[in-house]
Structure 1
Amino acid sequence: MFEPTPGKLIPDLTLREELVLLARCLWREGYNDHLAGHITCALGDGTLLCNPWLITWDELRPHQVIRIDLDGDLVEGDWPVPLGIPLHLALHEQRPDVGWAVHNHPLYGTVWADMREVPPAMDQSSTLGGGDMALVDEYDEPVNSKEAARAAITKMRGADLALLAGHGVFVVGSSARAVHQRAVALEQRCQRAWHIRAAGGVLESPLPTWWADKMRRSDGNGFAGFWEAMVRQELRADPDLLSG
């Protein structure tokens, strides 16, 4: 089993291993709507690593990760391409600067999306990871439609996080670390706001403006140790995870 040291908090990971660990970490955080959800990692050559259809995020292993092109065709791997992948294809086509993207239907984020409302960040942890947030408030076609996917990405207007009404959430970033931090903070933001409203509280953020602005400008990579701690948690739970 890997033992961390002050100079090396996690083992060296391939991109496939990072994708698997991201999936498992986020499943534990509530990104666990059965077979739903996609994670993509752009390889810079017009292809993407992606979790396959038919495998849940908590059972995914590195050898099951597939590689697809921007048309959604399988390039490498044995498993089928996820049905709802057009959203990711449109993102990577329109925004080639984006390295990683996560889509799923976590409970609290999806509830706020379905209410067509963006909750404020009510505490510091809910702002970690930063980024701009958008509300995509309607879909004109099914979510597996390429036209609907392109329209949704256009409606994001370059945002890093989105609540997709009638659908779920979408998070993008430059690294597995960044999208992990942003996805965790997004669901916490939505959860805390829901409980505060349910308790009769007012959804008016107590955070100072300077803090909110500073965190919004974060690229998601600044919280050293958070991603690593969650990776180690998954490696403890499945010590053989990186063996195949």
Structure 2
Amino acid sequence: MNDHLVILIRSFSAFFILMIIGRILGKQTLSNMNFHEFVTAVILGAMAANFAFNEKIEVIHLLIALSVFTITSYVLAKLFLKFRSFKMWTEGTPTVLIEGGLILEDNLKKNNMTLDSLNQQLREKDIFNVEEVEYALLEINGKLSAQKKKELQAVTLKDLQLNAGNAPQFPIELVIDGQLLHGNLDSNHISESWMNSQLKARGKKLEDVFYAVKGSNGQLYVDDYKDNIQHPIDME
């Protein structure tokens, strides 16, 4: 068979194999790539590229190698859903770079991030003055999340009904996947009994709660495992 035709067929095959793997691993891999997903993507891409141009690589060897990395990535993703502590150990946690309007220089250094880089990412969010920022977090995917100071935030109808004198508060996660985040409770002087009473007032138990966060307005937001939606929408 003509060498050019062989390379053409192998290239198309590699492309469609990666398409299938991407479908298996899911949308999260494409949107917010974390450490293990980044490593997997680099390796899978390199293997597929080699298969397309290196005729010495046998198809069966490629399929075995791709299967190993695909299954490993898939299993890790499932473990992250089941064990949050394992996820935090492998991927790390978001880092606070600005708190209460103050830049945390030590956290910048820990993440090998310069002030120029911080300002660049803020400008990408249409924030050209660091003094406008109340909180800024470096997410585990390397992206920056920023919250402007209260007086600079866009006003909504709900804001007009709130007491303007209330100091802004950063949202506090209290429950994830049915588990109390005791570290967040302790660091923010929130008692477990208060949390239980809030859930009891809503007729809920801890094991029913998928996610609970104390919002910037001081109110508790609770999301159950059961959403009671008959036909959830998923855009395919």
Q: Which has the higher helix share?
A: 2
Please confirm whether the aligned pair reaches a TM-score higher than 0.5, indicating the same fold: no
TM-score normalised to the size of structure 1? 0.23
For the pair shown, the structure with the greater C-alpha radius of gyration is 2
